[in-house]
Amino acid sequence: MSFKEVLKTKKFIITAELFPPKGTNVQPLLRKAQLLKSCVDAFNVTDNQRAVMRLGSLAICCLLKEQGCEPIMQVTCRDRNRIALESDLLSANALGLENVLVLSGDHPQQGDHKEAKPVYDLDPVQLLKTARVLETGVDMVGKKLDGAPHFCLGAVVNPLADPLDLQLAMMEKKIAAGAEFFQTQPIFDSKPLKTFSAKTRSLKTKILIGVFLLKSAQAAIFMKEKLGLNISQDCIERLSRAANPLAEGIAIASELISRMKPQVDGVHLMALGLEEHILEILNKVK
């Protein structure tokens, strides 16, 4: 079943994030994909995540497709102008890729090529609209295409944004522009989701809540202090006290999914190099 078809069902949806290597050795990533293939609905492949130069999302998605996996290609607005973005969308579709997640992308100052010039020629709403225009058989300037693509489009949303209403208004704009599903940043507490879930229940879209595997208290502190993520002190203390912090992180992630499962459409799992443990997380979900 394609990811687009899964979105039309009442199934609890599970996606997992894979980030391409900084180099050409793709075998470790492909091995992880094969390990998880039977328990996830799709793999989300990052596009130079956190502005760090890596092998391209398009290439990895094609390799995953060849292995019978369902990929979601991330496309950021950071690195390419509208000509290149349109071309990449057409290229992906010509290679059999339909699922695309659109996002702004972190500023180059946060990455490993700080001298790089950010582009941001289009914002995510404009890029979603552009993809839908391409589906009509013309490009952004109205030039006819010889063969029109078709996409399953996604976008991102932050359930913990303040003010939340501004984030919800942007979410509605993205839906109007063509977004069929949303993925969120990592969430570490299910309680704040109640307000978000109540306010988005009527929207005709699927929302996959981000769940991150914390491997240590140090990692949790870094993500809280440097990345601004809402990680509770209780969570940090659990990891600090644990004889095996990684096992505790797996337990925390599975408990969170179990609590959220009745009120969300699905989860998007992020393990940042520890993807082989995603199966353990899912096996512990009640």
pLDDT over 90 at 33, yes or no: yes
**The token pair that represents 218 in the structure block:** 């140090």
SS3 sequence of 154-202: EEEECCCCCCHHHHHHHHHHHHHHCCCEEEEEECCCCCCHHHHHHHHCC
Which pairs with CB-CB distance under 8 Å and at least 24 residues apart come from 200-206?
Answer: 200/168, 200/171, 203/171, 203/172, 203/175, 204/175, 205/175, 205/179, 205/180, 205/181, 206/7, 206/13, 206/180, 206/181, 206/182, 206/265, 206/266
Over residues 182-211, the pLDDT tens digits come to 999 999 988 888 899 999 999 989 999 999
**The token pair that represents 186 in the structure block:** 């990592």
Over residues 142-181, the pLDDT tens digits come to 999 999 999 999 999 999 888 999 999 999 999 999 999 9
> What is the model's pLDDT at position 230?
87
pLDDT over 90 at 120, yes or no: yes
Q: What are phi and psi of 228, to 5 degrees?
A: 75, 20
> What is the model's pLDDT at position 138?
98
pLDDT over 90 at 226, yes or no: no
Closest to 211 measured CA to CA, from 275, 127, 115? 275
Prediction pTM value: 0.95
Over residues 59-93, the pLDDT tens digits come to 999 999 999 999 999 999 999 999 999 999 999 99
**Mean pLDDT for the chain?**
96
Helix (H, G, I), strand (E, B) or coil at 92: helix
**Which residues does residue 268 pair with via DSSP β-bridges, in sequence order?**
15, 210
What is the mean pLDDT of the segment spanning 253-267?
Answer: 95
> What is the model's pLDDT at position 193?
87
> What is the model's pLDDT at position 76?
98
Helix (H, G, I), strand (E, B) or coil at 203: coil
Residues with Cβ within 8 Å of 148's Cβ and at least 6 positions away in sequence, in order, are 134, 135, 136, 137
> What is the model's pLDDT at position 55?
98
> What is the model's pLDDT at position 263?
87
Which CATH number is 3-213+265-277 given?
A: 3.20.20.220
